[in-house]
A and B are shown apart, each in its own frame.
Chain A
Amino acid sequence: MSAPRDLLAALGRTIVGQHETLEALVLAAIADGHVLLEGPPGLAKTLACRALAAALDGDFKRIQFTPDLLPSDVVGTRIFDQSETAFSTVLGPVFANVLLADEINRAPAKVQSALLEAMQERQVTIGPQTHPLPDPFVVLATMNPLDADGTYALPLAQMDRFLMKIVLDYPTREEERRILERFGAEDVDLARGVASLDDVRAWRAGARDVHADEKLKDYVVDLVAATRNPSPDASGYVERGASPRATLAILRLARAKAYLESRTFVLPDDVRTVALPVLRHRIAFSYRVQAEAIDPDALVRACIATVPAP
């Protein structure tokens, strides 16, 4: 059986830098969750998702979200087959092991809801039939923070469905130089078949058995509570804190992180490392954050910093 580290190393051989993103993709596979990727165009978000699908030997589908997209374009539809004189079901692109929902905020709410419902229920109902989605099923959705025109912001309740949100930034000078060397001449070959879908299922089972000490569970609860009762300095900027789903997500990801690092127990560092990507999209910030050009991540970090680690 392959180890999750092998998968991470394979992704690292394709993508230059972006370590946090690549680790998030592997953690999502281990923790059976979905990832929201936010970053400007051209930062290899799509390539990273393709690399993950290729390395996992799974099906990869991509949906480019546009304002005229319909729910049936995502989940599938029923068409009348004249030769059979009956309706038959055509499954949509959501039936894949790794689904890239590109620019998810460019589609209207009903399309977003169709996808997010599939993410949560892991099944799709088309007409009278219910179809389970493949296992594993990982959705990697991207959002471009620069072009806000013609977008439909995801409601907080829908953002909550994503296990974590990763914010991508431009590469360093050295990384960009390596990108030139790696991708300048020809298309890069993706590493294929590094791990099987059975391996991923085994990782998930292994991560569920990772031990989390009682003190760490208290730490997780305190972290999420700190977003609901922020410090006086931050309270004017936070409208609503994170939900209990965030509490569950932090512990699940902390276990996945420990499993990725071949440990059978969670450390406080695991919890603190995953707290920011779990919490940053689950907190409702007030208008003052935008009006005063405050970095929301700085507020989340401040909340995390107020809670002493065990």
Chain B
Amino acid sequence: MRASIAAGALALAAALPGGAAADPLPRLNVVSFTFTADARSPALEQPFHLVIDVRLRGRVADLEGVVLPQLGTLEILGDEKHTLAAGSDTDYRETIAVVAHRGGSMRIPPAYLDAIDARDGKPKRFLSNDLTLNVAGPASVLAGSAASARLWPVAGFLIGAVLIVGLAFAAFGLRKTPPPVVANAPEPPPDPAIVLSRTGASPDAASAARDRLTSDPTREGALAARSALWRSVGAGDGETLADVVRRPSAHDPALRAVLRAIERAAFTDDADRPAAIADALRALDGYRA
């Protein structure tokens, strides 16, 4: 077994970009791997945290090899790692303190971890979810760091040029049409500071599950609806509900309620099934609403 593991590890190391062929891959049973941000409304120049959580089955003394993605224009202020035993499992948490110097939307690709999957002995790259940030504020703020301070002359020139061109167009326009009168124009709502990637089952999958349950209110119909919903959140055959609700794509409480209700409808006894299916349909309606 060890020979096959070593061969697999070498194969993966050769296949992965920048892989260190000399380092053997750890053998891990990765239960979940999530990437989140802790602040709902971070302002420019205000530090906030990105958090990587990995749950591993079994006890692992230390987890190395979690690779951070490129954080774009975010400046890293600090990085802290903890490995804690959680019952018979192990929780790894890496907290990265960052600050945004530029507003607007940015997508941070997933973090990843290369390891031998303890479940099947094969080398794999485990990926977290990606993260979409939408930091409120102008697209460029030229204060607050030494690097940005060096850009002041260039920025001043560009802003001046834009202002001159803008004034020229405005003067031309004023001669043609009177300016619209706008009194007390409402301010646009502030951008959400951080928008996590959309999670959850697609509306199509929820509708399909509802249709299936309505047309076939039996055990088989419940199993089919369950299967369709699980596929839509990225869960594969052979997982259990506990695996599915740990997925970042199933963190929505309304979706979890649906998944639990459909689980009951699929596995309860025949006497309870009509009530279980009715509950599942109500949960689906609540989720779709």
- Do B58 and A298 touch (CB < 8 A)? yes
- Which residues in A have their C-beta under 8 angstroms from that of B118? 298, 301-302, 305
Which interface residue of B1, B118, B239, B241 has the most chain A CB atoms within 10 A? B1
Known: A233-B1, A233-B4. A264 touches B272 (CB 8 A): yes
Distance A130 CA – B76 CA, assembled complex (angstroms): 75
In angstroms, Cα B29 to Cα A267, docked, is 22
Q: A236-B1, A264-B269, A267-B263 are in contact. Are A297 and B29 (CB under 8 A)?
A: no
Q: How far does the Cβ of B242 sit from chain A's closest Cβ, in whole Å?
A: 5
Residues of B near A186 (CB, < 8 A) are: none
Residue A241, interface by CB 8 Å: no
From known contacts A302-B119, A305-B29, infer whether A267 and B87 are also in contact, taking CB-CB under 8 Å.
Answer: no
Contact (A169, B268) CB under 8 Å given A298-B118, A309-B240: no
Q: Flag if B242 contacts A269 (CB, 8 Å).
A: yes
The listed residue (A172, A234, A264, A272) touching B268 by CB distance below 8 A is A264
Q: How far is the CA of A262 from the CA of B129 in the complex (A)?
A: 34
Contact B87 A20 (CB under 8 A): yes
- When the two chains form their complex, are residues A169 and B239 in contact, meaning their CB atoms are under 8 A apart? no
- How many residues of A are counted as interface, with CB atoms below 8 angstroms from the partner's CB atoms? 33
Chain B residues with CB below 8 A from A301, complex form: 29, 57-58, 118-119
- Could you say which residues of chain B place their CB within 8 Å of the CB of A267? 240-241, 263, 267
**Binary B-proximity of A288-310 (CB < 8 A = 1, otherwise 0):** 00001001011001100111110
Chain B 116-134 interface 0/1 with A at a Cβ cutoff of 8 Å (1 = within): 0011110000000000000
| A274: Cβ under 8 A from any B Cβ | no
Which positions 211-258 of chain A face chain B at CB distance < 8 Å?
A: 211, 213, 215-216, 231, 233-234, 236-237
Q: B7 at the A/B interface (Cβ < 8 Å)?
A: no
A73 to B269, CA, bound (A): 48
Complexed CA–CA distance, A238 and B46 (Å):
56
Contacts of A138 on B, CB cut-off 8 Å?
none
Interface assignment of B85: CB less than 8 Å from any CB of chain A: yes
The yes or no answer to B237 lying at the interface (CB within 8 A) is yes
Residues on A with C-beta less than 8 A from B84 are 172
| B238 located at the interface, meaning its Cβ lies under 8 Å from any Cβ of chain A in the complex | yes
Q: Which residues of B contact A237 (CB under 8 A)?
A: 1
Looking at the assembled complex, report how far the CB atom of A174 sits from the nearest CB atom of chain B, in whole angstroms: 9
**Once the chains bind, are B240 and A265 in contact (CB under 8 Å)?**
no
The reply on A268 being an interface residue by CB < 8 A is yes
Contacting residues, chain A, for B267 (C-beta < 8 A): 211, 213, 215-216, 265-268
Q: How far is the CA of A177 from the CA of B41 in the complex (A)?
A: 35
Mask: chain B, 46-58; 1 = CB below 8 Å from A; 0 = not = 0000000000011
Contacting residues, chain B, for A213 (C-beta < 8 A): 219, 266-267
Q: Give the chain A neighbours of B238 by CB distance below 8 A.
A: 307-309
A169–B85 CB distance below 8 A: yes
The contact string, 1 if C-beta is below 8 Å from chain A, for chain B 261-279, is 0011011110010000000
A5 within 8 A of partner (CB)? no
Name the B residues within 8 Å of A269 (CB-CB).
240-242
**How many B residues have CB within 8 A of the partner chain?**
29
Residues 208-242 of B, flagged 1 when their CB comes within 8 A of A and 0 if not, give: 00000000000100000000000000000111111
Is B184 in contact with chain A by the CB < 8 A criterion?
no
| B59 on the A face (CB < 8 A) | yes
Q: A272 vs B242: C-alpha distance in the bound complex, in angstroms?
A: 10
Contact A295 B263 (CB under 8 A): no
Across the interface, do B85 and A234 meet the contact criterion of CB distance under 8 Å? no
Is A19 at the interface (CB under 8 A from chain B)?
Answer: yes
Q: Which residues of A contact B2 (CB under 8 A)?
A: 292
Nearest chain B CB to A214's CB is how many angstroms away?
Answer: 9
In the complex the two chains form, what is the Cα distance from A266 to B264 in whole Å? 9
Provide the residues of chain A in CB contact with B240, threshold 8 Å: 267-269, 272, 309
B121 contacts which chain A residues (CB < 8 A)?
231, 233, 302
A265 in contact with B58 given A20-B87, A172-B84, A302-B118 (CB within 8 Å): no
Interface status of B88 (Cβ within 8 A of chain A): yes
Could you say which of A216, A236, A301, A306 has the most chain B C-beta atoms within 10 Å of its C-beta?
Answer: A301
CB–CB B119/A297 < 8 A: no
Q: How far is the CB of A64 from chain B (nearest CB, A)?
A: 28
19 additional contacts, CB 8 Å, given A233-B4, A265-B268, A301-B57? Answer: A20-B88, A167-B88, A213-B267, A233-B1, A263-B264, A265-B264, A265-B269, A267-B241, A268-B240, A268-B241, A269-B242, A297-B58, A301-B58, A301-B119, A302-B119, A305-B118, A306-B120, A308-B237, A309-B240
A sample of 28 cross-chain residue pairs with beta-carbon separation below 8 angstroms, ordered by A number, consists of A20-B87, A167-B88, A169-B59, A169-B85, A169-B88, A172-B84, A211-B268, A213-B219, A233-B121, A237-B1, A264-B268, A264-B269, A265-B268, A265-B272, A267-B240, A267-B267, A268-B240, A269-B242, A272-B240, A272-B242, A292-B2, A295-B58, A297-B58, A302-B118, A305-B119, A307-B238, A308-B237, A309-B238
Interface residues of B (CB under 8 A from A): 1-2, 4, 29, 57-59, 84-85, 87-88, 118-121, 219, 237-242, 263-264, 266-269, 272
List the 4 shortest-distance A-B pairs measured between CB atoms, nearest first. Answer: A308-B238, A211-B269, A305-B119, A265-B268
